[in-house]
Amino acid sequence: MLEALAVSVLLHLDPPDVMIYVDRGVKIDSPDRLAADSACKYLRAVGVPLPVPYVIQPLKSNGEGGSQVPDPSKRVSGMLLSCPEDTTAAVTPRTGR
């Protein structure tokens, strides 16, 4: 199980895809695991069939009042192929979007 991370999940339904925003400073050891742990409960809840593409977008501070903005240089994407009960998903990494 991953430690509690500060993430926000945005689920698009038509066509289905998942965008996961991760707070700055969070180290992402396994993008595939993060995608499964963060998104599978939502995908199951609305009955979205797999596979579903995902993007993990880390955030960075923009220096103005501590607000956070996307850091495109650290963007990671892949394909979520399954959501097993233990949230250890089989995924296929991909680059770009």
pLDDT digits (tens, 9 = 90+) for 19-46: 999 987 777 888 988 899 889 999 999 9
Q: How confident is the model at residue 91 (pLDDT cuts 50, 70, 90)?
A: very low
Percentage above 70 pLDDT, the chain: 80
What is the rounded distance in angstroms from the CA atom of residue 58 to the CA atom of residue 45?
25
The yes-or-no verdict on residue 61 having pLDDT over 50 is yes
Phi and psi for 77 in degrees, rounded to 5?
Answer: -135, 160
Give pTM, 2 decimals.
0.75
Contact 8, 18 (CB under 8 A): no
